[in-house]
Amino acid sequence: MNTLIRVVTFCGALSWAVVVGAEEFSPFQPLPPQPPIPADNALSDDKVQLGRQLYFDRRLSFNQGLSCNSCHDLMAGGADNRAAVSKGDVGRAAARSAPTLWNVAYQTVYFWDGRAASLEAALAEHLTSPTEMAMPDDKALVERLSGAYSDQFERVFKKQGEFNYQNITRALASYIRTLVTTGSRFDRYLQGDGSAIPMQAKQGYQRFIDVGCASCHFWVNLSGPVPGLAFQMGEGFYELFPNYPGTEEEGRYALAEDLGRYYITQDDKDRRMWRVPVLRNIALTAPYFHNGAVPTLDEAVRVMAITQLGVKLTAGEVEDIVEFLKTLSGEFPPQPLPRLP
């Protein structure tokens, strides 16, 4: 596969194209209104409503102390802003920061290390993880919820099967696929509304590209990849982090202690390789990085420039990029709390 990145400035407006074979793609695209839907888990209103109930139901955790929303708070950017890493239902701390679930369904792999190839697979692991919901196994969860939910599951899934663990993850995934924040100021700018973002944000957008941030953060979720570049579900898009080891920032924030994808593959080339994170709504999802060590967006931008790109930004350049990143916040659809069975 022949890939070419073409950058052209014309009359002060940036044009940046990725050429894959004979096709050319603009690397920045407005967020589509709906993410990809797998053939074996079609969306329906009833299934989404069932998934919403499960998402907010604390009975999905061992001690019935946590719901999915406890660590992926939809009213707080879809992440966990209470601490660097979340504590699970039995009090054990997670190894990594809880990422946002808004727009997560546009990803091609899940978890920081990309070990799950689908949203359903990721949810199946979350529910029985000892540092998260801590259910001992799938049968225990099905047994607990059967009295409350079995009739509803039979109505929703019909011929697809009875009330079982797989359908629990399917319902949850269907709801999460509706967590989409379109209509950001940046999207409107991409669609031709030059007044949608202020001049400082435009300067930050240009700086974002010039410095090299856009070499990893692009496409609809600003997490890569474009079609033709590992775009298929389950393939993932990974980058080495930190790319410039030995900096003061690396030591201060313990950025290189976790070896990332290496723990999954045991392949030396995957040491400190990470799935490129989503930047949409990034202004609302502090703290930052895989270990949640960086508390503010300004500091995250400064640290990323040094440790990943080898660039020391001025305070003004950091501020410009942050103003651009703020334009990535979309419109959050209301999420009414469901009545639980």
The DSSP output letter for 323 is H
Catalytic pick from 120, 132, 249, 323?
A: 132
Distance CA 31, CA 29 (A): 6
101-118: burial string, b at 16+ Cβ within 10 Å, e else:
bbbbbbbbbbbbbbbbbb
Do 53 and 338 form a contact (C-beta atoms < 8 A)? yes
The DSSP output letter for 87 is B
Give which of 49, 336, 48 is closest to 174, Cα–Cα.
48
Is 132 annotated in the active site? yes
The DSSP output letter for 104 is G
Give which of 48, 50, 82, 77 is closest to 66, Cα–Cα.
82
Backbone angles phi, psi at 152, to 5 degrees: -65, -40
How many C-beta atoms lie closer than 10 Å to residue 298's C-beta? 15
* Token output for 112: 């920081």
Catalytic residue positions, numbered: 132
